[in-house]
Every structure is written in C-alpha cells, then in structure tokens.
Amino acid sequence: MYENSSWGWDQKDKLSEWKHSRTRVILVTNGESNNLPTTGISYGKLPNDNEDLIGFMCFRYEVGSNKSECALYVYELHICTDFQRQGLGEELMRMARVLATEFKMDKMMLTSFRSNKQALNFYQKLKFTPDKSSPAPSESDYVILQSKIKL
C-alpha cells in the first residue's frame, strides 16, 4: 500500500515512528503449546521462539494542538492474511477503545489509504467516520478517521 501511495515507503521514518517514546505496540502471536494451536495477544513482549507474529497494532496517546482534544491514534493495524476475518483486528480495536476510555481520551483516530477498501469497510463497521482534519478526496490518497469515546 505504501509503495503505491503519495507517501511512498520510508523504512527509516517507519522505524523512527516505532522507536518514539510514546509509541505502544500490542502483538498478536500464534504459538504451539502441547501441539495445540493457540492465539494470544501480548503487551510489551516479543514472541517466544515457538510463536509466530501474526498481527500487531501500533498506537500513541496524542494531544491536539490546542490541548483541548486528546486522542488514541492508531498508527498501524496489521493482521496476516491467513488470520484475517477471525476477529483479531476487531479485538485489537476493542482493546484500544478500552485504553482510550481508561485514559479519558476524547476519541480514537487513524489514517487509512483510500485505496484500501477492505480496511475502510472494517473501520466503517466499527463506526469510524472522517475527521474534520481529513483532507478532501480530491486532495489526497488517504483519509483521517475518528471515533468519539463516550466516557
């Protein structure tokens, strides 16, 4: 997706984003325990040798420029193709909403490429709508989405 976008792919920039002091990552792993497949979601730890990373969500708590609006901003949400449509992405977003509520954020936000119809349908199902800061479709190949947090 990045390669075909106006942003392009910049690995150095992406690594810098991941290493930012406010960045948080939730990993989804698929491990083997006693020959029984398991799927687990872990906070702050890398997969063990017997686990495969099958998805992740990268997010930050952000404060708006006028400091009146705080948001949990989802920077990345990825689930391996073989594990999509099993509720993992929805569970990660549910967890993000719980965190946003717990930390009294005003909303959740994310950016999606307009060409990523599968992602846009997913976010629409989760009641995300274009944010007021989102550029017009004629101006960009991405959309900024938001979902209000009810405290």
Distance CA 47, CA 30 (A): 9
Each domain of the chain, given as residue ranges in start order, spans: 11-22+57-148
- The amino acid sitting at 138 is S
Strand partners, 109: 73, 146
pLDDT tens, residue by residue, 87-127: 999 999 999 999 999 999 999 999 999 999 999 999 999 99
Q: Is the pTM of this model over 0.85?
A: no
pLDDT tens, residue by residue, 5-43: 455 556 666 667 767 788 888 888 876 543 334 444 444
| DSSP one-letter code for 66 | T
- For the domain spanning 11-22+57-148, the CATH number is 3.40.630.30
**69 CB-side CA count, 13 A:** 15
Q: Two tokens at 132?
A: 């007021």
Distance CA 76, CA 80 (A): 13
